[in-house]
Structure 1
Amino acid sequence: MADAVVTNRLDRRKARTRAALVTAARALLARDGGVDASIQEITELADVGFGSFYNHFQTKTELFEAAVAEALEEHGALLDRLTADLDDPAEVFAASVRLTVRLQKTHPQIARIMANTGQQYLGAPSGLAPRALRDIEAGAKAGRFDVGDAAVALACTGGSVLAAVHLLEGASSAKVDRTADEVATNLLRMFGMPTTEARAVARRPLPGTSRRRT
């Protein structure tokens, strides 16, 4: 019994140390992509011993990849929760795009990580990319989208979203909202939806918000 208690305590300590390292890495990724950070800087920011780094990660690259994956999956899981009750695949897609662009004001750290790790973001197996592909394919199957190649449509989506996130750094809340809706509208139009309908879908109340249109 005593051995089990000690083991559980050690496991919790290891988990806390790993979480502190990932949190520090996320802060560095949001700051400048983490490219110039040393392991010493990472462990100091995490407030853990230098040697403990190697108990969890072999290289800085491995740590930063884990931090990116965590941030993207955190956002992807949020999108899944917020859009779970939407029936129209076009609205699911549009809402996900709008919520992602709005990260600049709702989750600025994740927005900066996305902006600083664009290529990883576009090809990541977690986060918005696989979910957007799923939603594009669902929209095409339901006849809501006219896309020849869902992977190409995904690339257009990812590029548009990342460009908007870059564009909106430091922008006002109202500007972020307008741009998020415009990006979604343009993508819906690109996927074959008539302009009037695309604008209507991209202006529907966002799930999980009390936002009103005037």
Structure 2
Amino acid sequence: MAEAPKPTSRLERRKTRTRQALIDAARTFLARQGMAEVSIQELTEAADVGFGSFYNHFGSKDELFHAAIADVLEEHGQLLDELTADIEDPAEVFAASVRLTGRLVDTHPQIARVLTRTGLPYLDSDKGLAPRALRDIRRAMDAGRFRLGNPYVALAGAGGSLLGFLQLWLEHPDLVDEGSADELAEQLLRMYGMSHQEAHTIAHRPLPARPPRGDV
């Protein structure tokens, strides 16, 4: 019989809470203003933890911000996995992920702001949308759904388009809406070799239940 895991100690739980509080504070600053001109003092005050405890968890401010970005990417990736788990067609999974990501401005504005401020260096990250989109692109190619040469070029096209779309919605919400996210997905599907009619059909199918709004 396998031995039951030992319960986490009170000290370990407190350290975990402190680390997450610092990450949450960094996420707030990333969404609001990026990494520039934020002091460790400001971060610890926002997290409501002692200044001296910072270096028990992170070696530098940059290390904290990278942990916060990884946290955002993983939250985004898990959200997409949960919402697309029951979709079998890899092309539809890809389209749904694009449509859901495009809606982040409305559903998870903090994630949308962090992605637009820090997104380009993380288009090849092993967390978040990038690895999932690459997986779905490859599966759709193998299934004959996408007619592409290099899946990484397709990933770059999708990632850059999404970042541009999120930036447009954040800065000019009067110009785009949820339907525009569907239009973007349709355009990408057509770019990947689908007919106009099939791309339109897939990009306008009912989405899985919308996630609750996240932090602003």
Match of 2:214 in 1: none
Distance 1:162 1:58 in 2: 30
How many angstroms apart in 1 are the aligned matches of 2:67 and 2:153? Answer: 27
* Per-residue CA distance 1:70-107 (angstroms, 9 max, x = gap): 11111101101111111111110000000001000000
Equivalent residue number for residue 26 of structure 1: 27
- Consecutive unaligned residues of structure 2, counting only runs of 5 or more, are 1-5, 212-216
Contact 1:105 1:176 in 2 (8 A): no
Task: Determine the structure 1 residue equivalent to 2:36.
Answer: 35
Tell me which residue corresponds to 2:3: none
Are 2:138 and 1:118 aligned? no
| Other-structure match for 1:129 | 130
Matched letter for residue 83 of structure 2: L
Deviation string 1:120-165 (CA, Å, 9 cap, x unpaired) is: 3312210000000000001001100001000110000100000000
Paired AA for residue 192 in structure 1: G
Query: How many angstroms does 1:52 deviate by?
Result: 0.5
Does structure 2 retain, via aligned residues, the 8 Å contact 1:93–1:132? yes
**Paired residues of 2:169 and 2:175 also in contact (CA < 8 A):** no
Q: When the two structures are superposed, what TM-score results if normalisation uses the length of structure 1?
A: 0.92
Who is 1:200 aligned against? 201
Whether 1:144 aligns to 2:145 is yes
Contact 2:120–2:160, Cα closer than 8 Å, also in 1: no
Equivalent residue, structure 2, for 1:92: 93
Is 1:74 matched up with 2:67?
Answer: no
Determine if contact 1:101/1:176 at 8 Å carries over to the other structure: no
> What SS does structure 2 have at the residue aligned with 1:140?
helix
Question: Displacement of 1:118 after TM fit?
Answer: 1.7
Alpha-carbon shift at residue 208 of structure 1 (Å) = 1.6
Question: Is contact 1:105-1:173 (8 Å) kept?
Answer: no
Per the TM alignment, residue 170 of structure 1 is displaced from its structure 2 partner at its CA by: 5.2
1:165 and 1:24 map into 2 onto residues whose CA distance is 22
Displacement of 1:174 after TM fit?
9.4
Residues 1-32 of structure 1, C-alpha deviations (whole Å, 9 max, x = no match): xxx99x81111111111010000000000011
Q: Which residue of 1 aligns with 2:15?
A: 14
RMSD between aligned alpha carbons?
1.8
Instruction: Flag the 1:152–1:179 CA change in 2: closer, same or farther, 3 A.
Output: same
Structure 1 residue 173: Cα displacement = 9.0
- Aligned residues with identical type, % of pairs: 59
Is the CA contact 2:146–2:194 (under 8 Å) kept in the aligned structure 1? yes
Aligned residues: 206
Task: Give the partner amino acid of 2:13.
Answer: R
Query: In structure 2, do the counterparts of structure 1 residues 45 and 9 end up closer, same or farther at CA, with 3 Å as the change threshold?
Result: same
Deviation at 1:175, TM superposition (A): 3.1
Offset of 1:179 from its aligned partner? 1.5
What TM-score comes out, normalization by structure 2 length? 0.91
Moved over 4 A (4+): 170-174
The answer to whether the aligner puts 1:103 opposite 2:104 as a matched pair is: yes
- 2:55 maps to which residue? 54
Q: Which has the higher helix share?
A: 1
